[in-house]
Structure formats: structure tokens, C-alpha cells
Amino acid sequence: MVIVGIDAHKRTHTAVAIDEAGRKLGEKTTHATTTEANLELVRWAGGFDPERRFAVEDCRHLSRRLEMDLLAAGEELVRVPPKMMAHARDSARTYGKSDPIDALAVARAALREPNLPIARLDGPSRDLRLLVDHREDLVRDRTAQINRLRWHLHELDPSWDPAPRVLVRFKHLDGLAARLEGLEGTVAWVARDLVARIRELTVAANDLQRLIVRRSQGSPRRCWRSPGSGRSLRPRSSPRWPTCVGSGPRMPSLGTTGPHPCRCGRAIAYATACPAPGTAS
């Protein structure tokens, strides 16, 4: 059994093969991250032992293309959490930090830990995660624009202080734009431009929210609150869709189904979204 540890980068991948005793058998660096270069690593690893396992540090923004190519080639692949790398690197006899040293640390960590998560091809959950992350970025940009707008409004008229959370509603934005229309000066012009940008971001965030809810319909998912939204969406940091077991509030368990509590206080069995607090169910 040969374990091949890979240190992935944007332009290069460095692989180190070890045997079952942790002895280094060889190393190879690809100077490209294309599919052809990734399959070259497969052919190189096949020269050691037909029975092999690949291990890659869990940094999927750099290793996603590599993982897809290895899995499509029928290879077994595990992900090594970065925190395990330090212990494997400390036990090495070499000093410093380099790509071969990191790849060797990945391989030895995979050898030491037999129950590492197995990599699989991405499914619909990644598409939803990308949409949710993009919507949160839009909401964050809109909040920054609103904060700047409030300072400009205060400069134009200190008594002009819109209530919290009203500048994401179209009727308030229309009223604000109409009031700014008759004002002159650079500050008023910037304020009008900010109102237009806030409206555009609100339209985009609302469209994304409807798309996320529509794509998540019909699947058992835990209900969470998304920033800037009156409905509940998947948490940003959760890589999977956990559900809970039993009729009362319990800890989430992957791969199980059953009622689970939402942050709004309602017990929801298979809901993808829930109404805002205070609304009728």
C-alpha cells in the first residue's frame, strides 16, 4: 500500500509517495495544474504499487480541480485537515518548510490517521453554498453603502435619520430619492448615487434569495437565518446539510432525518425556509 501526499498550489502540485512504514519512496512536482498534469501524477504513482491512496491537504480552493481529476480517474482520495500537518511536520527529521516537506507531512498524516474524510465529487450542496456565499457578499456590500449614505444624509440635514433597516425597502428608497432630487451639491449627488446602488443590490439579493429557496425545495435541511433575510437559509460555514433526530431539540446528526428546531423557535421536520418571527405559520 502506497500513500501519495500532495501539496497543492495555484500553479504547481508536489507529490511525495511513502510506504506503509512511512519511508519516502519518491517525489514529483508538476509545473501545471491542468487535467493532463494531474493525470501525470496518477501515472507516476502507479509505478510504485497498484494499491495506492492519495491524500491532499484540505484547502479546496486550491485542490478542487485536482480532486475532480483524481476521482474521475477512479483513485481513492482523502482530505487531511491542516491542523494535522503541524504534528506530522514536527516529527520529520528535516528542518524548514518546502513543498516536498509539506507533501511528505500530508502523506504521513494520512498514514497515521485512518479515519480521514474521503473526498467525493461535489453535488448540489456546493451550488447552494456558492449562491448563499454570493448573496451574503451582496448583503455585506449593501450594508456598507447604507452606512455611507447615512453619513451623507446627516451632513445634508442632521435631523434626517431613517429608522434602522428601512433603507432596504423600495418604498423608503423611492421616498428618499424623491427628497434628494431637489437638492444641489456634490454630497446630494453622491447620496442619490448611493440610493441607486442600494436599490440594485437589494434587487440582486432578493433574486438570489428566491433562487436559493427554489433550489433547496424538497430536501431535508436544517433551517438557519441568513444575514439580511427574513427567511432561513443554510449556514455559511456548514459543509453539509445536518438534520436532527427525535421530536425535541437535539444535536444535529449527519445522514439522519427527523424534526429539528429552528432558530425562530419552531420545530420543523423537512423545512427549507421558515417565516420570520411574529408571522403566522
Assess whether pLDDT exceeds 90 at residue 207: yes
At residue 146, the pLDDT reads 93
Residue 230: pLDDT band with limits 50, 70, 90: very low
**66 vs 238, higher pLDDT:** 66
Report whether 174 contacts 199 (CB < 8 A): no
Average pLDDT over residues 21-45: 88
Average pLDDT over residues 68-79: 86
Strand locations in 46-144 (E): 52-57, 77-80
Is the alpha carbon torsion for 262, 265, 269, 273 positive or negative?
A: negative
CATH of domain 2-112: 3.30.420.10
Condensed to tens digits (0 to 9), the pLDDT of residues 126-144 reads 778 888 889 999 999 999 9
Q: At what angle do helices 124-156 and 186-215 cross, to 10 degrees?
A: 160
At residue 164, the pLDDT reads 85
Report the relative pairing of strands 77-80 and 52-57 from DSSP bridges: parallel
Assess whether pLDDT exceeds 80 at residue 199: yes
Report whether 143 contacts 135 (CB < 8 A): no
Condensed to tens digits (0 to 9), the pLDDT of residues 253-279 reads 333 333 444 444 444 333 334 444 444
At residue 228, the pLDDT reads 46
| 176 CB-near residues (< 8 Å, 6+ apart) | 162, 167, 195
Average pLDDT over residues 181-194: 92
At residue 147, the pLDDT reads 93
Average pLDDT over residues 38-51: 88
| 50 CB-near residues (< 8 Å, 6+ apart) | none
Average pLDDT over residues 171-197: 91
At residue 96, the pLDDT reads 52
Assess whether pLDDT exceeds 90 at residue 31: no
Name which of 97-101, 181-185, 231-235 the model is least confident about: 231-235
**Distance (Å, rounded) from C-alpha 281 to C-alpha 275?**
7
Assess whether pLDDT exceeds 60 at residue 213: yes
At residue 135, the pLDDT reads 93
Name which of 56-65, 178-187, 205-214, 223-232 the model is least confident about: 223-232
